[in-house]
Amino acid sequence: MARRQKGDLIHGWVNLDKPLGMTSTQAIGKIRSILKGSKAGHAGTLDPLATGILPIALGEATKTIPYIQDSIKTYEFIVTWGEQRDTDDMEGDIIATSDHRPSERAIQDILPEFMGHIQQTPPQFSAIKIAGQRAYDLARAGEDVELKSREVFIKSLKLISTDKDIASLEMTCGKGTYVRSLARDMAEKLGTKGYVSTLRRIKVGPFTTQNTISLDILANMDYIAARREALLPVHTALDDIPALAVTAEETARLRNGQELEFITRQDFARLEKAGLAGTKNKAALASYKDDIIAIIEVDKYKVSPVRVFNLEKK
């Protein structure tokens, strides 16, 4: 007999403002405990020394996690000059120093070199797997970790302010970009050493600082009030993909994992209205009246279910 999961099966997203010193896994545990939810996951790990937006999915919202993981993200961070640390943040040991401090002009001049599609080598202390083991576990065990560089995308990189030993910056980037690596590489380019001393994530796709909530606030509520205050709809993660209205009969077929064929003039008009006419392997959201039914893939006239939602009515 299967063991029953602890907590209720609730569905939605929590846009958590993760506090300093907490791992992303610990944050999920706190949210599950406060909201009494049985199933949860997060979209985009934040290091313990980072704060800010950590989108946490509960129940059926976990099916939309990949769409948030691939989203554009924005960070505010401070680079401290003069030291290099083995973790590339303030947690690590000092492994090199420099007396040189870059000028504001010098920092501004190199920023374009770190924008667009660039090659970046992840930090040794990262969650990347090497032969089945996490790089940070190997590094903590004293092993030499060699990580290959890879292409990442940095949409924008702005210098906010400078002081003698620090620079404050803001970066908007794609999936897999490491702020710690950026700080390390910028310092090398500027002829000095540097590490990330403060890091805050302020945007992940549709999740922004305007609708975040803190653990401190939630902890002072009962679970019913916490759910009412914190839970965002499952489709929050899908706001930027097209939506296709389906009929009751089509809803039943999609829920049974069956493919649809849109071949009539009326069908084509619906695809055209949703901006899906003639598209190939295009992700969209199928909805019936006010209910979301499934994430679908549209390939010309064929509509296939990719993730079907089972949202229980409360």
> Which residues belong to the active site?
47
Number of residues that this document lists for the chain: 314
Spell out the residues 6+ positions from residue 128 whose beta carbon is closer than 8 angstroms to its own: 122, 134, 135, 147
How far apart (Å, rounded) are the C-alpha atoms in residues 53 and 68? 12
Which residue's structure tokens are 């970046």?
120
Cβ neighbours of 5 (radius 10 Å): 10
Q: Is 21 exposed, middle or buried (CB count within 10 Å of its CB: 0-12, 13-18, 19+)?
A: exposed
Helix (H) or strand (E) holding 61: none
Helix (H) or strand (E) holding 285: strand 282-288
Give the CA distances from residue 61 to residues 95, 107, 302, in Å, rounded to whole numbers and listed in that order. Answer: 43, 41, 25
Closest CA to 217 of 89, 36, 35: 35
How far apart (Å, rounded) are the C-alpha atoms in residues 256 and 250? 10
How far apart (Å, rounded) are the C-alpha atoms in residues 10 and 232? 11
Spell out the residues 6+ positions from residue 277 whose beta carbon is closer than 8 angstroms to its own: 268, 271
Give the CA distances from residue 212 to residues 32, 203, 205, 279, 283, in Å, rounded to whole numbers and listed in that order. Answer: 17, 10, 13, 35, 27
